[in-house]
């Protein structure tokens, strides 16, 4: 049984998207290796804050129907560079029940293990759902601070939380909360200002996400805000130089409870649209490494939507913050022109089918990013189908599989696996020409 300290996958609690025919042997193999990762590794594999993706990778492969051998191989390929967690600091752990002391420990990666044990202890006293509601969704100063950190690190804590919720794994949820606690909080002022502005304009109709993407692309101030030399283009380029302008656009997107299903699908559609469409004419198809995190995170909002323990108000808030973050992420890569037509013209290198693409995603040498994109796109097609005749759903029908083929082909062909910051000319310097265009 899954507990706050034990990972145990069950075929009886399937995730939001999965291939039929998952093997019990795969559940067993993934559970064993996820447990090892839980006990032996830090959330960062180095001192620069690069994330340990083993949990994301193995859970995705499990959902895509990978066999136990493929799951073991994926673990073997990524375990060698992980680092152990810091030793438990008993004094720090004891202080985390004090609100002021709790806040003073935030943002320090050396306290990841302390926060992990703290959240596990809290879950043991109540439930993991209660802990998420108390420490992340309560709407008080502590919860809002941790929630903002959840969207930091290019959405990694939010992605990790989504895996825990979707796969019903309290230990993964505890990891996610601890991971959020050791991330930066630079997005907090942005979310506060956007929320305040959104509430002030509550009587105005909400813009659609693609309308706002178009407006951001057309704004010269936002185009100039991020610089190639920025260490963190979201923080330095958008939040530090153009926060007011970014808030102006982000706050125009609002969600009401009766819109949750449609707007969750809209967000999934729009993130796929700007991520797949961030191409450069004349260049080979490559996907932006930062944008794919918006796609990879989007699938979990279906899990949040169907979680009966999250209030409708919090579901709306989580979705609004995700969209605001996605819009800011788009702007941070210099708001590239969105050319979905270049994907629609793309001819796959192998016969196109979801079965084939998902199988290739299970066998490719990777750290989990590729397989996450493939699963997120397959899920996107499923949830967007009832709404795709609406104008704001720009990704249609066969686009999803063609996008999946383009991303798996682009990483298998060699050369740079991803572009990084697709709106900048410099990002495309080493990408080969696309001969057929």
Three-class DSSP category at 30: helix
Whose CA is closest to 149, among 296, 141, 367, 195?
A: 141
pTM of the predicted model, to two decimals?
0.97
Res 205: pLDDT: 83
Spatial CB neighbours of 202, under 8 Å, sequence gap ≥ 6 = 254
**Measured distance CA(183)–CA(258) in Å, rounded:** 33
The upper half-sphere exposure of residue 377, i.e. CA atoms within 13 Å in the direction of its Cβ, equals 31
**Measured distance CA(166)–CA(7) in Å, rounded:** 13
**Measured distance CA(283)–CA(77) in Å, rounded:** 30
**Measured distance CA(406)–CA(426) in Å, rounded:** 22
Tens digits of residue pLDDT in 22-66: 999 999 999 999 999 999 999 999 888 889 999 999 999 999 999
Three-class DSSP category at 288: strand
Res 237: pLDDT: 98
One digit per residue, the tens of pLDDT, for the chain of length 437 reads: 999 999 999 999 999 999 999 999 999 999 999 999 999 999 999 888 889 999 999 999 999 999 999 999 999 999 999 999 989 999 999 999 888 889 999 999 999 999 999 999 999 999 999 999 999 999 999 999 999 999 999 999 999 999 999 999 999 999 999 999 999 999 999 999 999 999 997 678 899 999 999 999 999 999 999 999 999 999 999 999 999 999 999 999 999 999 999 999 999 999 999 999 999 999 999 999 999 999 999 999 999 999 999 999 999 999 999 999 999 999 999 999 999 999 999 999 999 999 999 999 999 999 999 999 999 999 999 999 999 999 999 999 999 999 999 999 999 997 899 999 999 999 999 999 986 43
Which residues, in sequence order, are bridge partners of residue 51? 44
Element (H, E) at 377: helix 369-384
Q: What would the two tokens of residue 335 be?
A: 């708001």
The dihedral sign for the CA sequence 130, 131, 136, 142? positive
Residue 147's alpha-carbon distances to 105, 136, 143, 167, 281, in angstroms, are 16, 5, 6, 20, 38
Whose CA is closest to 343, among 292, 398, 403?
A: 403
Residue 196's alpha-carbon distances to 177, 180, 199, 213, 216, in angstroms, are 25, 23, 5, 21, 20
Three-class DSSP category at 177: helix
Res 365: pLDDT: 94
The dihedral sign for the CA sequence 5, 7, 12, 14? positive
**Measured distance CA(88)–CA(2) in Å, rounded:** 23
Which residues, in sequence order, are bridge partners of residue 6? 3
Helix ranges restricted to H, 201-306: 209-218, 220-224, 243-250, 260-276, 291-298, 300-305
**Measured distance CA(199)–CA(386) in Å, rounded:** 29
């Amino acid at each position: 049984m899954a507990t706050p300290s034990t990972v145990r996958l069950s075929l009886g609690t399937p995730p939001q998207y999965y291939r039929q025919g998952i093997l019990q042997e795969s559940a067993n193999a993934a559970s064993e290796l996820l447990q090892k990762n839980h006990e032996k590794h830090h959330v960062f594999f180095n001192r620069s804050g690069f994330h340990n993706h083993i949990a994301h990778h193995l859970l995705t492969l499990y959902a895509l129907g990978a066999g136990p051998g493929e799951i073991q191989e994926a673990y073997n390929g990524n375990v060698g560079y992980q680092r152990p967690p810091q030793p438990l600091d008993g004094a720090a752990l004891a202080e985390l029940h004090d609100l002021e002391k709790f806040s003073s420990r935030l943002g320090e990666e050396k306290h990841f293990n302390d926060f992990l044990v703290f959240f596990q202890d809290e879950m043991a006293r109540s439930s993991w759902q209660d802990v998420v509601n108390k420490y992340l969704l309560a709407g008080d100063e502590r919860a809002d601070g941790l929630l903002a950190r959840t969207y930091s690190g290019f959405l990694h804590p939010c992605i990790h939380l989504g895996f825990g919720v979707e796969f019903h794994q309290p230990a993964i949820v505890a990891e996610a909360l601890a991971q959020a606690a050791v991330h930066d909080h630079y997005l907090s002022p942005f979310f506060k200002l956007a929320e305040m502005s959104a509430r002030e304009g509550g009587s105005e109709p909400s813009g659609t996400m693609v309308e706002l993407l178009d407006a951001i692309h057309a704004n010269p101030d936002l185009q100039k805000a991020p610089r190639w030399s920025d260490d963190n283009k979201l923080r330095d380029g958008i939040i530090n130089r153009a926060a007011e302008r970014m808030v102006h656009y982000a706050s125009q997107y609002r969600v009401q409870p009766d819109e949750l299903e449609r707007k969750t699908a809209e967000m999934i559609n729009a993130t796929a649209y700007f991520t797949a469409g961030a191409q450069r004419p004349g260049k080979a198809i490559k996907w932006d490494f930062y944008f794919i995190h918006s796609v990879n995170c989007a699938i979990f909002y279906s899990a949040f939507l169907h979680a009966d323990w999250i209030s409708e108000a919090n579901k709306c808030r989580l979705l609004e913050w995700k969209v605001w973050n996605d819009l800011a992420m788009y702007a941070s890569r210099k708001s590239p022109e969105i050319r979905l037509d270049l994907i629609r013209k793309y001819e796959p290198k192998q016969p196109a089918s979801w079965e084939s693409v998902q199988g290739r995603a299970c066998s490719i040498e990777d750290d989990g990013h590729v397989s996450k994109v493939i699963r997120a796109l397959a899920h996107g097609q499923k949830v967007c189908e009832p709404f795709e005749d609406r104008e704001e759903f720009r990704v249609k029908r066969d686009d999803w599989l063609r996008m999946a083929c383009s991303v798996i082909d682009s990483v298998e062909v060699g050369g740079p696996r991803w572009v990084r910051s697709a709106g900048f000319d410099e990002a495309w310097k080493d990408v080969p020409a696309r001969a057929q265009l």
